[in-house]
Amino acid sequence: MPKYMLIMRGTDETNAAMMASIDEAMAATRRFIDEMLAADVLLTAEGLDDPRRGFVVDFSGETPLVMDGPYGETKELFGGYFLLDVPSYEEAVEWAKRVPAVRGSKIEVRRVAGKDEVPQQTEELAKQSAQREPSNQG
């Protein structure tokens, strides 16, 4: 089944509005998560920390430049995501429309590329990956 990422995007204003009623927002989000769990479509959900605690690595120059947050323009902030396993684009859209979002924010929906759509691992990466996986030996 395809996977879809519902990316929560807000602004400084929508984030301030959400924080003003954080208990209500968290309760609505918990109910939404419970609905997705009951429908067996939620793979994971994560919220992101305050952008002032983040940093950006800028590759526009000859060497990467690390800049502490808040970074650049904050017209639109990536605040978190829900990763869903649903059978179609249409179902992903229906779940996205139900996200308990603050007026003025946006939910971006992106299909996650399948393993057959990305370049195959090199032999060395496959070996390293296998070494990190727990052994099934008792």
> Count of domains in the chain?
1
Q: Is residue 63 part of a domain?
A: yes
Q: Is residue 138 part of a domain?
A: no
Tell me the two tokens of residue 56.
């950006």
d(CA 19, CA 56): 24
Residues of the chain with pLDDT > 90, as a percent, come to: 49
Q: Is residue 91 part of a domain?
A: yes
Q: Is residue 13 part of a domain?
A: yes
Containing domain of residue 72, as a range?
A: 3-114
- In the numeric block, the tokens 């990763």 are attached to 83
Q: What is the CATH number of the domain that holds 84?
A: 3.30.70.1060
pLDDT tens for each residue of 43-91: 999 988 877 788 888 899 999 999 887 665 666 778 899 999 999 999 9
pLDDT tens for each residue of 104-120: 899 999 999 887 777 66
Q: What is the pLDDT of residue 74?
A: 60
Q: Tell me, yes or no, if the pTM score tops 0.85.
A: no
Q: Is residue 31 part of a domain?
A: yes
Per the CB < 8 A criterion, the answer to whether 29 and 125 are in contact is no
48 to 29, 31, 111: CA distances (angstroms): 14, 19, 20
Q: Is residue 40 part of a domain?
A: yes
